[in-house]
Structure 1
Amino acid sequence: MIKKGISAIRNELPSIIEDAENDLTVMSKAFFNKLLEEFRAMDDLLVHCDTKIQIANKNNDVCTRLGDVLSIGAITSIALYAAAGDGKDFVNGRHLSAWIGLVPGQHSTGGKPRLLDISKRGISYLRTLLIHGARVVLRHSEKKNDRFSLWAQALLKRRGHNKACVAVANKLARIAWVIMAKGETYRPAM
Structure 2
Amino acid sequence: MPPAYVKPYVKRGKTDAADAEAICEAVTRPTMRFVAVKSRAQQGVLILHKTRDLLVRQRTALINALRAHLAEFGIVTATGPGGVKALTTLLNDARDDLPAHARMALSSLVAQLDKLAAEIERLEAEIMVWHRSDDTSRRLATIPGIGPITASAIAASVPDPTQFRSGRQFAAWLGLTPRSNSSGGKERLGGITKQGDGYLRRLLVIGATAVVRMVRRDPRHQPWLASLLERKTVRVATVGLANKTARIAWAVMTRKEVYAA
Aligned to 1:153: 226
Q: Offset at 1:96?
A: 0.8
TM-score normalised by structure 1 residue count: 0.83
TM-superposition CA deviations, 1:43-64 (whole Å, max 9, x none):
1111111211221211111111
Greater fraction of residues in strand = 1
Aligned to 1:94: 168
Q: Which runs of 5+ in 1 are unaligned?
A: none
- Give the number of the structure with larger relative contact order, counting CA–CA contacts within 8 Å between residues 6 or more apart: 1
Q: Offset at 1:79?
A: 1.8
Aligned to 2:128: 54
Matched, 1:7 2:85: yes
| Pairs aligned (count) | 182
Percentage of pairs with the same residue: 34
- Go from structure 1 to structure 2 and tell me whether the alpha carbon gap of 1:70 and 1:23 turns closer, same or farther (over 3 Å shift): same
Distance 2:132 2:89 in 1: 33
- Go from structure 1 to structure 2 and tell me whether the alpha carbon gap of 1:78 and 1:23 turns closer, same or farther (over 3 Å shift): same
Contact 1:87 1:180 in 2 (8 A): yes
Stretch of structure 1 that moved more, 22-31 or 114-123: 22-31
- Go from structure 1 to structure 2 and tell me whether the alpha carbon gap of 1:72 and 1:29 turns closer, same or farther (over 3 Å shift): same
Stretch of structure 1 that moved more, 62-71 or 130-139: 130-139
Stretch of structure 1 that moved more, 88-97 or 137-146: 137-146
Distance 2:98 2:220 in 1: 57
Stretch of structure 1 that moved more, 64-73 or 137-146: 137-146
Matched, 1:83 2:161: no
Matched, 1:131 2:209: no
Distance 1:26 1:156 in 2: 52
Q: Which runs of 5+ in 2 are unaligned?
A: 1-73, 78-82
Q: Offset at 1:36?
A: 2.8
Contact 1:2 1:8 in 2 (8 A): no
Distance 1:83 1:69 in 2: 17
TM-superposition CA deviations, 1:54-95 (whole Å, max 9, x none):
212111111111111101112211221222234222121111
Secondary structure of the residue aligned to 2:130 is helix
Contact 2:219 2:226 in 1 (8 A): no
Matched, 1:186 2:254: no
Amino acid paired to 1:160: T
Secondary structure of the residue aligned to 2:179 is strand
TM-score normalised by structure 2 residue count: 0.63
